[in-house]
Structure 1
Amino acid sequence: MLAALLYGQEDLRLETVPDPTPQPGEVVMRVGVATTCGTDLKVWRRGGHAKMLTPPTPFGHEAAGQIVALGQGVTGWNLGDRVVANNSAPCMTCFFCHRQEYSLCTDLSFNNGTFAQYLKIPAPIVRHNLLLIPDGLPDAIAAMTEPLACVLHGVARSNVKPGDRVVLFGDGAIGLMFVAALAQRSTEVIVFGGSDSRLHIAKTFGAAKTFNYHQMSDIPAQVKALTDGWGADVVIEATGVPSAWETAIACARPGATVNLFGGCPRNTTITVNTEQLHYNELTLKGVFHNTPEFVRSALAFLARGTVPFELLISDHQPLQNLEHVFQAMKARTVVKVAIGDR
């Protein structure tokens, strides 16, 4: 089969590799659609990921398709089932899993390789995070289950209450999904991003106000002007830029929660004003990945059809054009791209 392998920084190669064969407990899925993700872009540009993969490695982690092979002992699934698989599953036995803190599992079973014709799904994911796609839900939308699950996990950890004024940094796919999820909670979402077209999608998804940061000199001052001089109740940073983490903290009111969601490059640091942190009783949170609960909630959210998530799909391209797709993502001319035969 044809598959994409990441060898290093911006070194992505299409190669012919053997078709996968399922071992006991595993299944093989024919990839209908694999969607690109901002995390994929960061990994491609940086040449690796602190948690999920080490090159050389199969690449891509969002996909939906059909089961074409079942390993020994697999029950409850049939050939031809349309499924979406999360890119990980917790072990269910470690210190953190016993406390239901599944995103901190010390033995998360990650699975990469969705930019391929077939994908083998490990047994832990089959047991805990393989889901049947509801009838009528296109593969390209179902494939977004994993990133939306991460977003729903992020929202749950952000102490958001109805009526809160939430400032969001980032107009990538993750940031726009945050808008959609937060708008469902009757919050006032204020978005700062760098693309007018993406900020238009944010408005469609329920943002109350949007601002292009290229046209602003003092974002914290703008936030205070919008919030009676106090700052936001909740701030969510979804860009993965250390300077943006610092700006996010500066936009928070006393007593606020700041969700530092965007993963920054390895070994980067930020500076925090200790007086502000202490006397303003700020809560700073790093939030990573998802849990089985939110994987199921995400697929259900997509299936409801209440948000036009198809607006996040900027283009459809065959696997052979994957390098071109990542160049377009780097240039920010696309949000997400559906990879696969149409």
Structure 2
Amino acid sequence: SAPCGECRPCLARRPNLCEDLLFVNGAYGEYIALPPRLVAKNIVRLDRVAAARAAFAEPLACAMLGVERARLDEGQTVAVFGHGPLGCLLAMVAATRKCRVLLIGKAGWRLQRVRALGLGECVDATASADVVADLRALTDGRGPDVTIDATGRPEGWEQAMAAVGRGGSVVFFGGCAPGTSVRVDTRRAHYEELTLLGAFHHTPELIRYAVEALETGAVAPDGLVTHRMRLDGVHTALDLMQRGDALKVLIEP
């Protein structure tokens, strides 16, 4: 995407909220024509990183923005709700900040794979009678310093708010469906000074940081790829993702 650089959010150094944000969605072809502004705003060298890894630049930049919004500090404990590709990338970025990562997911092959990748301490939500209580038990009763929802479900948002410790921050990374709402414990929000934050999209600067992290290996998401397909397999790839039978599918033209 490409912000305009002239509106109020852009001038306030929040270009992801640009009032005239230019998007180009989809790239399932051998070639794609891009608007000049998008090219100018996103000039980045990709010749020093493998194409299969460079494909993670956009989602990784989104994860970086989510972690940036949380203002994670070394030694903090962060709980990520959701063990899909973006939840895993959030865990990886948090780990680069030298944080303790708790990754909450549901039993099944995906959670087993994530656990094998060593992305954090995995918590099986389906085996727990009370995930919030479990997270507090894992943090000596305090609750995580930061919680991030990557499920995009109202119940995930509410669990993230319930689990965070006093003075903690909650990042709503996964976007919920239009028209949904969540309940907020107003007493906790006020007396425990909780910080509730939205996190949307990324910025051209974060795209460059993401490419650099992929190039140096600071973030190595290769293990998230469960399937590789040619361009004519896009429909199959999308079906796999919709059914939850893939973690990340790499399309190789």
Shorter chain as normaliser: what TM range? over 0.9
- Most deviating of 186-195 and 294-303: 186-195
Q: Specify the code of the residue in structure 2 equivalent to 1:126.
A: V
Residue number in structure 2 paired with 1:93:
6
Give the structure-1-normalised TM-score: 0.71
- Counting helix residues as a fraction of each chain, which structure ranks higher? 2
| Matched residue, 2:146 | 234
2:21 corresponds to: 108
Alignment of 1:261 onto 2:173: yes
Which one-letter code corresponds to 1:118 in the other structure?
Answer: Y
Judge conservation of contact 1:180–1:205 (CA < 8 Å) in 2. Answer: no
- The count of residues paired between Structure 1 and Structure 2 equals 253
Residues 164 and 188, structure 1, Cα contact 8 Å, conserved in 2:
yes
- The answer to whether the 8 A contact 2:103-2:121 is kept is yes
316 and 208 in structure 1: CA distance in 2 versus 1, 3 angstrom threshold: closer
Structure 1 residues without counterparts, runs of 5 or longer: 1-87
| Residue 203 of structure 1: how far off its partner (Å) | 4.3
Cα pair distance change 1:337/1:141, threshold 3 Å: same
1:253, distance to aligned residue in structure 2 (A): 0.8
- For 1:172, the equivalent position in structure 2 comes to 84
- CA–CA distance in structure 2, aligned partners of residues 200 and 306 of structure 1: 23
Q: What's the secondary structure of 1:131's corresponding residue?
A: coil
Structure 1 equivalent of residue 206 of structure 2: 294
Code of the aligned partner of 2:151: T
| 1:228-275 C-alpha deviation (Å, 9 max, x unpaired) | 111110001001011110011000111000001001111111111111
Letter in 2 for 1:333: D
Q: Distance in 2 between matches of 1:294 and 1:190?
A: 24
Is 1:280 the counterpart of 2:174? The answer is no
Structure-2 residue corresponding to 1:145: 57
- What is the CA-CA distance between 1:185 and the residue it aligns to? 1.0
TM-score (norm 2): 0.95
The answer for the alignment partner of 1:19 in structure 2 is none
Of residues 100, 117, 121, the one that matches 1:209 is: 121
2-structure distance, mates of 1:169, 1:207: 13
Give secondary structure in 2 for the equivalent of 1:232. coil
C-alpha displacement at 1:133, in angstroms? 0.4
Task: State the one-letter code of the partner of 2:189.
Answer: L
CA–CA distance in structure 2, aligned partners of residues 318 and 195 of structure 1: 30
Q: Contact 1:189–1:206 (CA<8 Å) still a contact in 2?
A: no
* Bigger fraction of residues in strand: 1
Q: Alpha carbons of 1:195 and 1:333: their partners in 2 closer, same or farther (altered >3 Å)?
A: farther
- Could you tell me how far apart the structure 1 residues matched to 2:121 and 2:24 are? 37
Counterpart of 1:244, as a letter, is G
Residues 208 and 177 (structure 1 numbering): CA distance in 2 closer, same or farther, change over 3 Å?
A: closer
Match of 1:303 among 194, 198, 215: 215
SS state at 1:106 partner = coil
Question: Structure 1: how far apart are the matches of 2:178 and 2:84?
Answer: 20
The alpha-carbon distance between structure 1 residues 244 and 332, as it changes in their structure 2 partners (threshold 3 A), is: same
SS class of match (1:284): strand
Shift of 1:204: 5.7
Query: Structure 2: which amino acid aligns with 1:271?
Result: R
Structure 2 residue matching 1:255: 3-state secondary structure: coil
**RMSD across aligned positions (CA):** 1.5
Q: Against the structure 1 CA distance between its residues 173 and 267, is the aligned structure 2 distance closer, same or farther, given a 3 Å change threshold?
A: same
Paired residue secondary structure (1:285):
strand
Whole-Å separation in 2 of the counterparts to 1:203 and 1:282: 30
Question: Which is bigger in relative contact order (C-alpha 8 A, separation at least 6)?
Answer: 2
What is the DSSP-based 3-state SS (H/G/I as helix, E as strand, rest coil) of the residue aligned with 2:167? strand
Give the 3 Å change call, closer, same or farther, for CA 195–310 of structure 1 in structure 2: farther
> 5 Å matches for 1:1-342?
88-135=1-48, 137-203=49-115, 206-341=118-253
What is the CA distance between 1:308 and its match in structure 2?
Answer: 3.5
Secondary structure of residue in 1 paired with 2:214: helix
Contact 1:220 1:251 in 2 (8 A): yes
- SS of residue matched to 2:236: helix
Please give the alpha-carbon distance, in whole angstroms, between the structure 2 residues aligned to 1:197 and 1:331: 13
Distance 1:283 1:300 in 2: 30
